[in-house]
Amino acid sequence: MREKLNVGVIGCGWAGEQHARAYSSLTEAKILAAADLEETRSKDLAERCEADTWHTDYRKILEDPRIDAVSICLPHHLHSRVVMEAAEASKHILCEKPMANNLEEADEMIRSARKAGVTLMIAENVRFHPINLKIKEVIQQNCIGEVFLARIFRDHEMHDYLRMRPWFLNKEKSGGGIWMAGGIHDVDALRMIVGEVETVSVYQARSVFPEMEGDDTVAALLKFEDGAVGVVTESFSTKTFKPLSPIGCPTVLNGSSGTITVRDDELEIYGKNVGDSSICIRKKVEEKDTFVEEMKHFVRCVKSGETPITSGQEERRTLAVICAGYQSLNKGGVRVKVRY
């Protein structure tokens, strides 16, 4: 393995920009090429990252023997095909979330990577969010006892952003709507913190974004295998003054002996195992760039051969919850068992 991991970025939109920025901050990686259907975007990103080539055809990156790994930052419906092509070209792969629009595609991606002997990591940055990591640590220290209720709210108005990316408005290409695009983050965070999901019920609210074919607002009820319950709301359409908590982090976790409440970059922890039962303590969480932490992990896994935290197999389990949720939504919110 070379001292630096040579990377090609496929897709130079918002996600591709974040990947490129993060790689550029690492001494262990170097971007050699970028590809996008819009040549101006690929050229601009390549020049800013001091890459020597840019393309409108991503296959040129896959054919380049200098490139060790690729970041795939394309619309959801293209993930599976390009991942399989990258694996066949013996490139290590970091693919944006959701890994695929259905479990069949996810399985094909996992098989292709395994057959080629390359690393497949899904870019799920909530796993690297310092607040989520601190919440998990506090729970493991038994500060609030056993979690029995977790609530997470993803509130934002993104109509203009989505109009600029019309594939997002297409139900088939995006894999649905906000439950796929946002729910995949929040279900993954809750799986990390609380545990595996047993059943899911999802309800779609009245749409206020008519251009969007899929769901723009949903509410979900998750039943975890240990008996805990999760309440998740997702919306592309809520006009709010400010988010209730950082995106991708639970707002409130109730345990048998206390509660964790997330407020911006702080955790408020109240519980009998914390100290004086009449007060709560506040833990400020150090801010970190989740994309940089994610790329560090990917580079380390490729070089060492270790399995990524967000491997294809691991993130398939989160996708299984999302797919079960869409089954529920399509049946009017009935409870659906997750088939892993």
Q: Which two tokens stand for residue 45?
A: 């990103």
Whole-structure pTM value: 0.96
Q: Which two tokens stand for residue 73?
A: 């930052």
pLDDT of residue 331: 97
- Assess contact for 182 and 154: CB atoms under 8 A: yes
Q: Does domain 5-126+291-310 have CATH number 3.20.20.70?
A: no
- Which is the CATH superfamily of the domain at 129-288+320-337? Dihydrodipicolinate Reductase; domain 2 (3.30.360.10)
pLDDT of residue 293: 98
Asked if the model's pLDDT at residue 2 lies above 80, the reply is no
Asked if the model's pLDDT at residue 28 lies above 70, the reply is yes
Q: Which of 223, 209, 213 is nearest to 325 (CA)?
A: 223
Average pLDDT, the chain: 95
Task: Quickly count: other Cβ atoms within 10 Å of residue 62's Cβ.
Answer: 20
- Assess contact for 239 and 131: CB atoms under 8 A: no
Residue with the two structure tokens 């095909």 = 81
3-state secondary structure of 103: helix
Per-domain boundaries in the chain: 5-126+291-310, 129-288+320-337
d(CA 208, CA 194): 32
Q: How far is CA 29 from CA 147, 148, 207, 301, in A?
A: 40, 42, 43, 13
Asked if the model's pLDDT at residue 184 lies above 80, the reply is yes
pLDDT of residue 277: 61
d(CA 123, CA 296): 12
pLDDT of residue 207: 95
pLDDT 10s digits, 122-136: 999 999 999 999 999
pLDDT 10s digits, 266-312: 999 998 767 666 678 899 999 999 999 999 999 999 999 999 999 99
Q: Which span out of 153-162, 212-221, 270-279 was modeled with the highest average pLDDT?
A: 212-221
**Greater confidence, 39 or 243?**
39
3-state secondary structure of 206: coil
Asked if the model's pLDDT at residue 61 lies above 90, the reply is yes
- Return the minimum-mean-pLDDT range out of 141-145, 183-187, 330-334: 141-145
Q: Which of 232, 194, 230 is nearest to 215 (CA)?
A: 232
Asked if the model's pLDDT at residue 200 lies above 90, the reply is yes
Average pLDDT over residues 77-96: 98
